């Protein structure tokens, strides 16, 4: 324990009041050692300790430990220290074990959360896990399986067609996508920037012109500034207004 909890009633007891100052200091040193060791106030098999060992472990001399006092007594080779806070020691140990258990639970929760987040940021992993689960647990409804599978005419079922359409819409640079980009960036020549993207990607075969690439490119592109009016144009505007 890091703290030594002493009840005031013990300091008012006959054993403490009747003890000499040296005995009180010896008892306090023994309590501090027992609290640090969390041994329940019993120093086991210490009768054979030499004087140097007593000084280095408890901060008292062998003669001080061997003398008789109501604040401690000997039980064979064991030294029993009076008024040791056993309840506080048990409380500290219970809290420590609970903290370890709570820390392990939190660590496991963080590990699980990191796995889930990693799967979210890795579409290939998520797709592979989904496919594996679908293979392991096929649908028990024949009608549902028939709807998902391709029919004899080479056309996919309703759900398969919707899924394919969504997948295509997510990665295809169609006219609807470019129109949306022009609405979001009215001050940028999107068509000219698209040609710049093609030229940039030509020198980098490993990169692809995806929707994310286009969005990031246009987000970094500065808008085209209108040419500043000259003095002549300003006077011409004033003449027209008059």
Contact 197, 214 (CB under 8 A): yes
Contact 89, 35 (CB under 8 A): yes
Joined together, the tokens standing for residue 171 give 């990665």
Average pLDDT, rounded, for the chain: 78
Confidence of residue 105 (pLDDT cuts 50, 70, 90): low
Average pLDDT score over residue span 216-224: 84
Look at residue 147 and give its three-state secondary structure: helix
Rounded Cα gap, residues 211 and 217, in angstroms: 10
Residue 117 has pLDDT above 60, yes or no: yes
Q: Which H or E run contains 242?
A: none
Residue 104 has pLDDT above 90, yes or no: no
Which pLDDT score, from 0 to 100, does residue 151 have?
47
Look at residue 75 and give its three-state secondary structure: strand
Average pLDDT score over residue span 33-61: 94
Contact 218, 181 (CB under 8 A): yes
Which pLDDT score, from 0 to 100, does residue 136 have?
57
Range 98-107 burial, b when 16+ CB lie within 10 A, else e: eeeeeeeeee
Q: 170-186: per-residue pLDDT in tens?
A: 567 899 899 999 998 99
Residue 155 has pLDDT above 50, yes or no: no
């Amino acid at each position: 324990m890091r703290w030594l909890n002493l009840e005031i009633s013990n300091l008012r007891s006959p054993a403490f009041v009747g003890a000499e100052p040296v005995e009180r200091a010896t008892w306090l040193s023994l309590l501090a050692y027992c609290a640090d060791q969390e041994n329940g106030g019993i120093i086991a098999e210490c009768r054979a300790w030499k004087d140097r060992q007593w000084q280095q472990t408890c901060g008292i001399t062998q003669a001080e430990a061997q003398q008789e006092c109501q604040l401690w007594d000997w039980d064979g080779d064991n030294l029993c220290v009076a008024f040791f806070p056993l309840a506080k020691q048990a409380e500290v140990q219970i809290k420590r074990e609970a903290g370890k258990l709570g820390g392990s639970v939190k660590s496991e929760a963080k590990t699980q959360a990191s796995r889930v987040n990693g799967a979210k940021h890795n579409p290939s992993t998520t797709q592979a896990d989904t496919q594996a689960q679908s293979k392991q647990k096929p649908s028990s409804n024949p009608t549902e399986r028939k709807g998902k599978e391709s029919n004899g005419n080479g056309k996919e079922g309703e759900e398969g067609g919707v899924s394919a359409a969504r997948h295509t819409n997510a990665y295809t640079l169609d006219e609807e996508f470019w129109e949306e980009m022009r609405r979001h960036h009215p001050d940028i020549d999107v068509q000219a920037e698209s040609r710049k993207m093609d030229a940039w990607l030509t020198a980098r075969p490993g990169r692809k012109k995806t929707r994310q690439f286009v969005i990031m490119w246009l987000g970094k592109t500065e808008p085209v500034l209108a040419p500043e009016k000259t003095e002549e144009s300003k006077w011409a505007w004033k003449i027209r207004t008059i």
